[in-house]
Chain A
Amino acid sequence: MPRPPDGEGHVSDAGSPPPLQVRHLSVRFRSGSETVTAVDDVSFSVDRGRTLGIVGESGAGKSALALAILGLHDPTHTQVTGEIRVEGRNIVGLPEKSIRRLRGRQMSLVVQNPLSALHPAYTAGRQIGEAYRAHHPGCRRSDARQRAVEMMARVGIPDPDRRIDDYPHQFSGGMRQRIMIAIALVNAPALLVADEPTTALDVTLQAQILDLLRDLQRQHGTTLVLITHDVGVVGRIADRVMVMYAGRVAELGSVGQVMIGGRHPYTRGLLAAVPSLTGPVDADLPSIPGAPPDLAHPPSGCAFHPRCPVAALVGDRCRTEVPRPLPVGRDHLVACHLATADRP
């Protein structure tokens, strides 16, 4: 089987492996008689202390990828193949007991809706403290509590000494997301995966939470994988961007390479379709015809070909052959037959 170059697989600082390295990852769900491939042969890595933004629309495979990185897929319904190396160690196929030792300590997750992720009957302090105690078995309750107060202060919750005994419903939406972040970071994990962390929040709060994530990341050198449908969010805090479509990588590169010099027709279409505060208002928005595909019945060849403005230029190949992500520049990969046709 032809292996695409690992592209990003360069070794970061002083020979230590990157905190996250994903190779040929696929996630398949069995649903009835059908198999849905939510993530299809995805490879990437993230350097220490950096932020990778993963952008895509519904069905792009973003959340299935996030759950896989945390080892949260239920093996009875889901098949995960390939490699996910967190701090060099492959977690695919590890028993739940071993993954649980890593989860929270090596890698953590922040999800979109803090209200459903937080336990309504436990105080904020207890939930943060419990996350700490889970990885510090000998730790005294009073120490965990002290640690929770520190974390609440660090994520910008005012008056943490008093608020530590409040319940989730006593906090606003933005404050609840801060509690989630405090729980995720209490054990100083190397890797934080944030899946639409600001989508449920108002725009002014959104900016605050993104700034908070960026500040915490800089302080602790945390590696951040930020999953979002919002290209504006990615432009604001990511170093590199991975655009996904129908479970596959469409394009991967630096923010500048992808968001300004994007080569994949889907990347370009997606960016152009976003209404901006500065673009023209007298003309229609450039739009992509059709809708993202149903993953139970994905299009043949390049999954984007039925909606692609340039597929006709290439001919049958787009319809018959899945394009692999290939380099078009330094650390810049594009999965498009046209964009990679004339590469050296």
Chain B
Amino acid sequence: MTEPLLSVRDLVKHFPVKGGTVRAVDGVSFEVAAGHSVGIVGESGCGKTTIARMLVRLTDASAGCIVFEGRDITQLGRRRWRSVRPRIQIVFQDPSGSLNPRQTVGRIVAMPMRVNGIRPPGGRQARVRDLLAMVGLNPDHDERYPHEFSGGQRQRIGIARALAGDPRLIVADEPVSALDVSVQAQIINLLRSLQRDLGVSFVLISHDLAVVRQLCHRVAVMHRGVFVEAGDRAQIFGDPHHPYTRRLLAAVPGGGPPRTRTQEQGS
């Protein structure tokens, strides 16, 4: 078997708090194959966002390793990490809070290229235009500011920025949960097409089981810092084993076909 793009082993994050330790992530392991996507699903406080932050080193791991392209990134020095960093990008939940309001969209999207000294053939500006077109925005809008765009368009800007470093892995932390339903579907489809066309891998962090199901080949269900169940999409959604997974699935409103009261009450 070929080596996975990302291999996470026994990852731990403990936060010291008054009178003890919060075991936010308490030993999780998973792998992401090139061109595949893995969803981590769970309720608030389960530790899923902490994993996302550790994958891009916004938070340091307490223990365990994160092997990306064969190297444990938790052990990399600053310089080495910088050479890897463009290939692991993150997309955040709040598209407004994660875009600098004083920078034009062109400048925002070019940022990973500037920071990492990437000089694409044809120049950065041309690359920015290509990226904007790729995520479904008008390339001529590169001189506009974030507030001139709708929520869904801002999330597209965030995705274009993530793509600017030519990533192999995109960590997406609740990428659609702040968006309107009709716009959510557009962004889900965009992420799918990017995976198809660019072969990029995703780690999708979400509380929304249906979104994870739409996007991910493999799914890990997280509860209180650990994975209670992990498996293929078909297994998790079709034949869940762990009671917590079953409880989550049962709680999704509209999980089945909509129940009609008319039938129930005969009115």
Contact = CB atoms under 8 A, between A and B. Distances in A.
A275 B253 contact: no
B254 A276 contact: yes
Interface stretch (A144-152, A286-294, A320-328): A286-294
Interface string B187-203: 01100110000000000
Given A57-B182, A210-B253, A275 B260 contact: no
A143 B254 CA distance: 42
A285 interface: yes
A87 interface: no
B211 interface: yes
A235 B259 contact: yes
A239 B261 contact: yes
Contact of A203 (B207, B257, B259): B207
Given A203-B43, A277-B249, A236 B259 contact: yes
Interface in B103-159: 150-153
Interface residues of A, number: 40
Contacts of B180: 57-58, 229, 291-292
Contacts, number: 124
A139 interface: no
Size category of the B interface is 35 or more
A281 interface: yes
B18 interface: no
A236 B185 CA distance: 22
Nearest to B259: A235
A269 B182 contact: yes
Contacts of A236: 253-254, 259
A270 B183 CA distance: 10
B254 A275 contact: no
A272 B44 CA distance: 27
Given A57-B182, A229-B180, A276 B210 contact: yes
Best-buried of A229, A230, A231, A291 by chain B (most CB within 10 Å):
A291
Nearest to B254: A232
A279 B250 CA distance: 16
Given A203-B43, A281-B233, A273 B251 contact: no
B43 A202 contact: yes
Interface in B204-227: 207-211, 213-214
A116 interface: no
A202 B253 contact: no
Contacts of B255: 232, 276-278
A254 interface: yes
B30 interface: no
Contacts of A203: 43, 207, 209, 248, 251-252
Contacts of B152: 291
A215 to B, nearest CB: 15
Contacts of B214: 275, 281, 285
Interface string A226-250: 0001111101101100000000000
B175 to A, nearest CB: 13
A275 B258 contact: no
B253 A235 contact: yes
Contact of A235 (B182, B207, B258): B258
Contacts of A134: none
Contacts of A260: 258, 260
B21 interface: no
Nearest to A258: B258
A259 B182 CA distance: 15
Best-buried of A203, A210, A274, A281 by chain B (most CB within 10 Å):
A203
Interface of B: 43-44, 150-153, 180-186, 188-189, 192-193, 207-211, 213-214, 233, 237, 247-263
Given A287-B182, A287-B185, 11 more contacts: A232-B255, A235-B253, A255-B258, A270-B182, A274-B254, A277-B209, A278-B257, A281-B214, A284-B189, A288-B182, A288-B185
Interface of A: 57-58, 202-204, 206-207, 210, 229-233, 235-236, 238-239, 254-256, 259-260, 269-270, 273-278, 281, 284-289, 291-292, 307
